Structure 1
């Protein structure tokens, strides 16, 4: 089995570098980089270090987050040449085979990326695969003690801040306002992220200096006992978007940065702002000018808390790491979703803020539903379906948003992508819960053949996952404004990578049945997605480029294994014809499932029956059967 290889990295803060002493970041169990050689630690040894828990006010929060920022600020020696920028060339670094993503019965949950059961924490697995290795020059010297004005001229600062305001701020659902520049950490963070839009020749010299200055200013600000809202916003920005040098600088774990930002926000009691704002809003219309200013400030702080929590959920979901922040019921009720917003930017952004919060809240709730034993399958089936139906109700509200209003239409459209990615995660979670529970408690019975409520959950949910996967890719490709698409948060590209990987694994498993493959547009969607990711990438170290490289490696592996189209018979074609409805599969009772065949996440017997169902001329949908 092949493995991913990463360069050996020494993490050391600026102070320890200057003093030439050992840094606590070098020996921290909470900071992780890609290993130089693959290792195979046991689940017990690695689970604790792979998923540390955070507690508000914990002394680890700030230290860990700086380790992440220090890693991202590492600069490679020089810009890659044109050949190194090509996806096919970069994809060779991954050395990954499709079968590496199909866990066996003995695959450990934690360990080397090519050996772990990626289904345990799918988003974390894709994040790590997207994080490509880089070369570093230890002799590279960058000036320190600079100010933002020493690196950029005032017109350049204004230009970069305007770029951030128009292309990135809407992702944060922030209210439009005057553009301010105070030479603060917030300005520096915004300029650092927006510097990716500079021409490569200028960016290669400017971006490393901006990142180093960000690192130094960050050290002063993050240890400030009187943390400012600007510092928290800066950390939020740096957790959602990785700075780009265009030289292959290393990635970092945004979950550590956002956890520190949340901890700082909780120290300022931002989690209680909904109570304060609600109290002031109750008197709206009778407020003095001072009280109105207090209400405006409270709403500003509450919106920041909301998007901090949303961003932490976005970065932690599907990674096995529970978020530190939790939205209260009052937080979720602050924005009324029962009536459509006024057609202005402020109202639409507040509406998106509320609906995004509910989307991730529902997804997190569904991912907490566990199948405790084989005897609880009926309850588990009902609970998961209830979560899915709740999300579909939310989808009714968000789907028309980009059509009926032109305010931030692109960002509303991307909500549909996030919705389908979250729904795919729920389906993925539900299937894995059934698989692992049956393999643990009833290994004599194939997990994919179990029935409840007159349904076979593996079939009932399996096709829904494929539909969600294809919808994620279709939505991504349907965007016409490629400039805005290239500014998407890093985690959006991870969601795209997860959806594409789901299709890859499905196709490969079908191939293992005996030259069977999905028919339809899935493979075209994958190829177009790879091309689009490459097209919009700002640099080789942009998350879009990294995701494209990884998916190209998977596509190359699949192309070596897929059956030739001319060799397929009509019975070898899997058609997606099952609608998402309540249906019985009565003829599956005669299918003989081989015992103890748990080598694949989507086992061959499961897919044999799945293909048979899809191709059966006698297949009928009975909507009278309830769940």
Structure 2
């Protein structure tokens, strides 16, 4: 009995005969040959090219072959290819009528090909276009849509299946808003065959020294050579450091360096034994976005670092800690061999730490992890004395501990409301562990004679991770109660010990968010601060957003504001971001623009005029363990404000509901700790109407009033 053939649901897919299983190039290389993303433009002939030849930019025999053809089909919309992990949260790069975008582009194409066997876990897709009402439009240069951010009042778990819940991946949401805008029509740029064809020798030497002085300490690796060899490592370092060139020079040089980087990396991509410098070059590209002014590519640092990790695994860097420990235990071990193994271990540590940091708060699981021997090596390399290398090893080990604890915290889940006591204890145990780590971090910039600036920045990363941990804990409580116990407001939940969870964790999150901004503002060396990784600015943006969330929550709950230093810290942070920015497409400038839009939205929403007596009350408000104590404090503040406003002979005291005007949507009684539809509509409308992201000409950020 013959088995029936399955029905072909895709009549437009290209057909190949059995005699031609691969194109000529793939057959000669004995490589897998696949046809992906084959789509034609109306009125234009269909160009058929296998995926490998497309990535390599090589001619494919399928282009002229008569052994592959298309079946007739009716005109249709864009292909239904699922997005890659790099773009799963960026689902609307073009308008509905625009041609289908490329699956990957530039360095993302190369990185995707390099990690085909170790692709990280992708985020859930967002299904767009199903909302009942009209959806606000957003320019195609932004990688996030309003419906991706807006929670709905009728949805109990912060967004429905048609939306991306930004509170579930807060760092990813900030990354998307800060992401460099994409130029749909990037200019064609010629690239030199070597680095020396683009820059003179003296300029190359200067850029390499700048990179090793200002950038390498951020990834906690020992200084590298500064002699030019025209390698990928040298090209990448010059590409990143070129942001410090004069604007006119950078405008002509940086895009060519970016193009040269892609051209050279394609030769390293399929090398079965990649060099350590090539892996380190890709690590650098994942941490810093090249500032070229072209906006040609929407980069995904997580995809790039996963590619670097995959290349490191191919040469077994993950086993270097064991090898180094074995060599150290051998009294007759070769010193040079020990140093080589230790150098490889440091690179592996930096890869793992960088990937973990880029995945925090994004919903993506790192493909790499540290072994107990890696942590043992970190301790052995840090003591007994502080040298430049041991200082960086110490920071590398401490960052690894912070990210490891933070990852464990964000993996905790509150499955049932009955487990809230256990979940409360688990989160508190983790925060106590973090506080123990902070004992090692806080004095580090005092007791170490090297890299004091970067040791101080470790404090910023610590507090940012604390905010993320507490944010996750609050979200889990809210999600569980709005799912399983919708009749009980989640913010009123108390433990058996009498702790109001929303106040207990919310207060600590606010303190840590303010500490992030304080650490960011307390450093005086703006030159070093301008070289910070893109993710540091994302952490600052997340912390500033959390402060705004707290301010808005107090406004919803009591018609007041936080008072204290919060708004001033935000204003100073925006000024500092603009001050350290070296170009309009610098991550610092983009983060400052987003925070300015956020501040403008808050200025339009907060009450006017604000009663100073209420601000002072909340500024001096001590910690309240229970909701009843908090409500008593609020009522007392309202009563004092009413008496002060009445005065002698002023007549009867007006009702409190008229004195303390609540937001228009407060009638629902939903004290939404994580914003409402009205806020995000206002914020994104303000963000989209601004042209501060324009890459055509440098834009001077507006001064803070």
Instruction: Give the one of 199, 206, 224 matched to 1:159.
Output: 206
Query: Aligned in 2, Cα 1:548/1:55: closer, same or farther, shift over 3 Å?
Result: closer
Aligned-partner Cα distance in 2 for 1:569–1:200: 49
Q: What is the TM-score normalised by the length of structure 2?
A: 0.70
Query: Aligned in 2, Cα 1:337/1:445: closer, same or farther, shift over 3 Å?
Result: farther
Matched, 1:484 2:519: no
Matched, 1:279 2:333: no
Deviation at 1:487, TM superposition (A): 0.3
Superposition map of 1:215-614 within 5 A: 215-283=262-330, 286-288=331-333, 291-336=334-379, 342-454=385-497, 455-513=499-557, 515-570=559-614, 573-575=617-619, 577-578=621-622, 583=625, 587=629, 600-601=672-673
Report if aligned partners of 1:103, 1:600 keep a CA contact under 8 Å in 2: no
Instruction: Give the one of 17, 29, 47 matched to 2:83.
Output: 29
Aligned-partner Cα distance in 1 for 2:273–2:382: 39
Report if aligned partners of 2:383, 2:390 keep a CA contact under 8 Å in 1: no
Report if aligned partners of 1:423, 1:468 keep a CA contact under 8 Å in 2: yes
Deviation sequence 1:102-156 (CA, Å, 0-9, x none): 66452765888xx643111000000001115344445x22114621111111111
Aligned-partner Cα distance in 2 for 1:354–1:132: 31
1:133: which partner in 2? 181
Gaps of 5+ in 1: 1-9, 40-53, 66-89, 605-627
Instruction: Give the one of 59, 63, 66 matched to 2:116.
Output: 59
Deviation sequence 1:283-311 (CA, Å, 0-9, x none): 3xx335xx211111110010000010000
Report if aligned partners of 1:473, 1:525 keep a CA contact under 8 Å in 2: yes
Report if aligned partners of 1:427, 1:461 keep a CA contact under 8 Å in 2: yes
Deviation at 1:194, TM superposition (A): 0.5
Matched, 1:120 2:168: yes
Query: Aligned in 2, Cα 1:127/1:240: closer, same or farther, shift over 3 Å?
Result: same
Gaps of 5+ in 2: 1-40, 42-50, 64-77, 97-110, 123-138, 635-665, 677-705
2:7: which partner in 1? none
Q: What is the TM-score normalised by the length of structure 1?
A: 0.79
Q: Which has the larger share of helix? A: 1
Aligned-partner Cα distance in 2 for 1:568–1:202: 51
Moved more, 271-280 or 13-22: 13-22
Q: How many residues align?
A: 545
Moved more, 485-494 or 451-460: 451-460
Deviation sequence 1:41-75 (CA, Å, 0-9, x none): xxxxxxxxxxxxx999852558999xxxxxxxxxx
Query: Aligned in 2, Cα 1:523/1:341: closer, same or farther, shift over 3 Å?
Result: farther
Deviation at 1:184, TM superposition (A): 0.9
Deviation at 1:532, TM superposition (A): 0.7
2:222: which partner in 1? 175
Report if aligned partners of 1:446, 1:597 keep a CA contact under 8 Å in 2: no
Query: Aligned in 2, Cα 1:105/1:189: closer, same or farther, shift over 3 Å?
Result: farther
Aligned-partner Cα distance in 2 for 1:192–1:225: 25
Instruction: Give the one of 232, 235, 246 matched to 1:199.
Output: 246
SS class of match (2:378) = coil
Deviation at 1:477, TM superposition (A): 0.5
Larger RCO: 1 or 2 (CA < 8 Å, sep 6+): 1
Aligned-partner Cα distance in 1 for 2:441–2:397: 11
Report if aligned partners of 1:317, 1:364 keep a CA contact under 8 Å in 2: yes
Deviation at 1:565, TM superposition (A): 4.7
Query: Aligned in 2, Cα 1:516/1:93: closer, same or farther, shift over 3 Å?
Result: farther
Aligned-partner Cα distance in 2 for 1:20–1:101: 48
Aligned-partner Cα distance in 1 for 2:431–2:152: 26
Aligned-partner Cα distance in 1 for 2:210–2:202: 12
2:237: which partner in 1? 190
Aligned-partner Cα distance in 1 for 2:617–2:297: 42
Query: Aligned in 2, Cα 1:508/1:62: closer, same or farther, shift over 3 Å?
Result: closer
Deviation sequence 1:73-101 (CA, Å, 0-9, x none): xxxxxxxxxxxxxxxxx9x9899999966
Deviation sequence 1:433-459 (CA, Å, 0-9, x none): 000011111111111111224112111
Q: Which has the larger radius of gyration?
A: 2
Deviation at 1:339, TM superposition (A): 8.3
Query: Aligned in 2, Cα 1:584/1:64: closer, same or farther, shift over 3 Å?
Result: closer
Aligned-partner Cα distance in 2 for 1:64–1:21: 33
Aligned-partner Cα distance in 1 for 2:520–2:210: 22
Report if aligned partners of 1:246, 1:538 keep a CA contact under 8 Å in 2: no
Query: Aligned in 2, Cα 1:513/1:198: closer, same or farther, shift over 3 Å?
Result: same
Report if aligned partners of 2:83, 2:91 keep a CA contact under 8 Å in 1: no
Aligned-partner Cα distance in 1 for 2:148–2:312: 43
CA RMSD of aligned residues (A): 3.8
